[in-house]
Structures are given as C-alpha cells and as structure tokens.
C-alpha cells in the first residue's frame, strides 16, 4: 500500500503530463497537462466533448492513456483500474450515476467493503450505523435501508457523493456533482468540500456552472477540443474570459428571451392530482409562452410533467388541450395531440444508449415525417437529423455513432433534437440543460425561444433559478405537490421564488 497523505515530493499532489487518448474517429485528449496542489479545489471547465470526463476517467483508472504520464505524490503511477486508483487514494463521482438500483443505499455505499460478523456474514447493523454516521456528517436525510430505485435523481446523486467521500481518498474527482441538487443541497456539498480541503484533500471539480467555479475553486483549467487552453487562479479569472477560452467566441446573450405576446390557451390543467406526488394543480399555458416551473426537490414538478405526458396518469382533474378535454392515459395520446417531453434523466428514461445518433433523433418523428408509401425515406431522415445535429452542435464523428459513446451533454442534445424534430405544439422540458456546457446552454435557450416565437407552448422545469428567471414569461412555483404561486416575468425574483418554494 503506497503512503497516503499530502506527500513531500514536491509542490503538487497529482501531475498529468502530455496525456493523449483516441477513440474511434475522435481525438479525446491531445497532449493535456494538469497539476493539482494539495488542499485545493481545481475546477476543470470546457464544452461537452472537450475531454474533461475522459481526462478524469484516466486519472480514476477507467481508461489507460495512449501516451503521457501520471505522477502521484511525485512518483510515476499506472492506474490500471478504478480499484487500483482507489487503493492509490483517488476516488471519482461520475456524472452518470453508477449505483445498483435494486440494492439499498447502505449496500451501495459500502459494496465490497461491508463489515462482517465473526462468522463472516455481513453485519447489517454496523453497515447501517456507518451509513447513518456518514449521512449525519454530510447532512443527507435519506434512509440507509431504502432501495436506490426508490430515490429521486437528486437523492441518488447525494448517495454517489457519500460513496466517494466514504473512501477517504486524497484526490476526489467530482464530475458535475450538483447537476441534480437544490440550492440547499449544493450548500451542504460546498461546506463538505471546504471541510475536505481543510483536511488536506485535493479536489478536481468539473462543472458547467460559472457561479460554482467562482465560489468554490482555487484554480481553473479550461479544455477545448481535447487540448489544454490554460490554467489560472480564480482571483485572476473573469466569467467572460473563461467563456471565450471554452468556446473560442463571445456569448453575448445567455438568455435570449424577449417579451412575448401569448396566443390562445394551448394547455389547461384543472385540479389535477396524483396521490403522493401532487395535489389540486391548476394552470394555463398559452401558445408562444414559456412557463417556468420552480421548486425544491420533492415539490412534485417532475411528477406533474410525467402525468401531463401520460407516463404516470393523474387520478383526478382535467387536462384540456386547445379547447378539448383529453384523457392523457399514455404517451402516445400526448404525442398524438402535439406534445413532446424531454425527461430529466437522459440515461434511464431518455436516450436509447445502444442505438446510434440517427435512430435516437429520428424515432419520434419517423412514422409521421419520414415514411413515403409505406417505406422509410432514409435520405430525408438523415438530412433532417444532420440539420439538427448542426443546430445543436452535437459532437459526434457521424450519425452512426452509438449514443453511449457520446459525452453526457451531447446525449442530452440528441434527446432534445429528437423532440424538436416533431415540431411540437406543446413542449415539456424537465431540466433541459442539465449537464450541458455554457455554449450549448445558450444554443438550447435560443432554440427554446425560437420555438416559442413560432407559437409553441413551452413548460420548462429547471432547478437553476437564473435559467427559470431568464427564460420564462411566467414562473409557477411548487412546494410539496401544490402550486404556491404564479409570478409574471417582471415580478419574479430569486427571493420571491424561494419564499414561495419553501412555504
């Protein structure tokens, strides 16, 4: 077992030099170097496909580099597997959650490290005690005996964080750890990060959120197209400069929203209820309008979206599309009435990871737009998907690339492209920019605004208040399954929204 701790071999705890990594048709890393000091938070930023996750997976032992060197505590190391990296003191929290759904929370956290009795059986009482102690430290309010498949995305994310922290690693890699967390949970995470840093731990922190970088990071490195563009201390960095480094251009309008003149009511919801999820929800959504939905985790926002689309139909209340009440009992009914739904979890309920980009994009509009005389017009489907690929800047070698090989953000863009191809009249977006880089966010925001301008009615759920406030004509706030208020764009502020969200 190598010596653990801050080390005395030099200024840096971890050094990577000239890393190069290629996948079929893609150069993921091209001579990337990075140096991590002990007791610091080093943020790594870049657009989707810039190479951030590949770099972290090499450091975490998931991928071997084609060329280059890794030094830990001043000594060259070869990290052959995640287990090897953990043994060396490197742990990683992945952007895509790697939990066993049928196992309990406690079993997931301590898998392979379970405490045992004198007879060699798992000591479940000690297992739950260790988990409870860890959760108290992290201020996580989750029952250790609950199966992971009963948790929300945000709760699973906190379990993933707790699992990594439990290894007591010297180097902790966090890949988009706050993408599904509320502001309160983010505050808890940042308090933990500061505690770990004070204890001498070094953290590599991948995020697309500039506000997080300026709150938590000590140093910032930027990658673009697999190359290292630059590293600088947080004190010397500015948001505009980081954006230019990431995308190679200026983004003058992050939220290109203009005051809208809404048209007729496209969707009307009256006293909609689903026991245990939401109760007595009523609102109207007009053509050409973006209605943002805000609230804390557990407010029922995603449950409401799923009910509107027929995934988990409401048990009472009325849904009216246009001027006709509709029993939305399954998604095909919703799609038949011009609705589209981008789910919050692209991996579990969105993309078909084993299929290629073309199939994923085209499937929702296939029978309606790309069938001629009973046969699929493959050429027209390809042209439409290629246009969407260019509009969303999906980074892929070609449309035949399996979606599982794309970065998380590019998977998200493929999912959005699928539903945009249907030209929906009512578009439901649940966390549409989760895990998406700043450049792609601006493009997605532009497309959402363009769709609304063309007459689409957009219901947008987001945990990022700046996104809700910047993109919405009105903001509907939910708390514990109820609507606590609907605010006009010009009266909605972070303070007012948070007051309504915490009633």
The pLDDT value recorded for residue 394 is 86
Number of Cβ within a 10 Å radius of residue 306: 22
Report the candidate in 138, 143, 154, 247 with the shortest Cα–Cα distance to residue 191. 138
DSSP strand pairing (265-274 vs 67-72): unpaired
d(CA 35, CA 13): 8
d(CA 430, CA 151): 17
Residues of the chain with pLDDT under 70: 1-10, 25, 48, 95-97, 180, 249-254, 297, 502-503
d(CA 145, CA 174): 25
E strand residue ranges, 236-344: 265-274, 278-286, 290-294, 316-321, 324-325, 339-342
DSSP class of residue 399 equals T
The pLDDT value recorded for residue 95 is 63
Number of Cβ within a 10 Å radius of residue 172: 25
Read off the tokens for 111: 């898998």
Read off the tokens for 24: 């079929």
pTM summary value: 0.60
The alpha carbon of 255 is separated from its chain's Cα centroid by a whole number of angstroms, namely 19
What spatial distance separates the first Cα and last Cα of the chain, rounded to whole Å?
52
pLDDT digits (tens, 9 = 90+) for 239-256: 888 878 887 755 555 677
Q: Phi, psi at residue 223, to the nearest 5°? A: -110, 150
The pLDDT value recorded for residue 59 is 95
Structural domains for the chain: 10-89+169-250 (3.40.50.300), 265-338+424-501 (3.40.50.300)
Contact assessment for residue 456 and residue 449, using Cβ atoms and an 8 Å cutoff: no
E strand residue ranges, 176-277: 202-206, 219-224, 227-233, 265-274
- Cα torsion angle, 243, 247, 251, 254, sign: negative
């Amino acid at each position: 077992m190598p010596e653990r701790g801050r080390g005395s071999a030099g200024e840096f705890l971890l050094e990577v030099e000239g890393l190069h990594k290629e996948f079929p048709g893609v150069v993921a890393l091209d001579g990337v170097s990075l140096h991590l000091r002990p007791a610091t938070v080093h943020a790594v930023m870049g657009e989707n496909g810039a190479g951030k996750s590949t770099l972290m997976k090499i450091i975490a032992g998931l991928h071997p580099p084609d060329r280059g060197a890794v030094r830990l505590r001043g000594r060259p190391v070869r990290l052959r597997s995640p287990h090897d990296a953990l043994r060396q003191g490197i742990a990683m929290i992945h952007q895509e959650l790697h939990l066993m759904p049928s196992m309990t929370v406690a079993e997931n956290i301590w898998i392979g490290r379970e405490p045992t009795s004198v007879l060699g059986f798992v000591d479940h009482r000690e297992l739950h005690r260790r988990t409870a102690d860890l959760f108290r430290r992290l201020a996580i309010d989750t029952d250790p005996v609950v199966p992971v498949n009963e948790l929300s995305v945000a709760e699973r994310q906190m379990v993933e964080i707790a699992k990594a922290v439990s290894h007591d690693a010297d180097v902790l890699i966090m890949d988009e750890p706050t993408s599904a967390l509320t502001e309160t949970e983010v505050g808890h995470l940042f308090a933990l990060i500061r505690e770990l840093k004070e204890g001498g731990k070094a953290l590599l922190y991948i995020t697309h959120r500039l506000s997080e970088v300026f709150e938590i990071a000590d140093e910032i490195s930027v990658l673009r197209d697999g190359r290292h563009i630059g590293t600088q201390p947080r004190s010397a960095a500015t948001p505009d400069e980081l954006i230019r480094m990431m995308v190679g251009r200026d983004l003058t309008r992050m939220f290109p929203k203009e005051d809208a003149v809404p048209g007729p009511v496209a969707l009307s919801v009256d006293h909609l209820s689903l026991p245990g999820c939401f109760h007595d929800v009523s609102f109207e959504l007009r053509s050409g309008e973006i209605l943002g939905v805000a609230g804390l985790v557990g407010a029922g926002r995603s449950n409401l979206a799923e009910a509107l689309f027929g995934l988990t139909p409401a048990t009472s209340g009325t849904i009216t599309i246009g001027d006709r009440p509709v029993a939305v009992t399954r998604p095909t009914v919703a799609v038949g009435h011009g609705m589209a739904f981008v789910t919050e979890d692209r991996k579990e309920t969105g993309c078909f990871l084993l299929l290629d980009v073309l199939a994923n994009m085209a499937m929702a509009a296939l029978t309606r737009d790309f069938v001629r005389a009973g046969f699929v017009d493959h050429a027209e489907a390809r042209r439409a998907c290629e246009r969407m690929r260019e509009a969303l800047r999906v980074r892929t070698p070609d449309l035949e690339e399996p979606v599982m090989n794309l970065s998380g953000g590019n998977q998200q863009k493929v999912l959005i492209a699928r539903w945009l191809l249907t030209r929906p009249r009512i578009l439901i977006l649940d966390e549409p920019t989760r895990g998406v880089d700043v450049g792609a966010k601006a493009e997605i925001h532009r497309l959402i605004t363009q769709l609304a301008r063309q007459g689409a009615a957009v219901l947008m759920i987001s945990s990022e208040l700046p996104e809700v406030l910047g993109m919405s004509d009105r903001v509907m706030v939910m708390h514990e399954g109820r609507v606590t208020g609907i605010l006009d764009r010009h009266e909605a502020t972070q303070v007012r929204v948070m007051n309504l969200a915490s009633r």
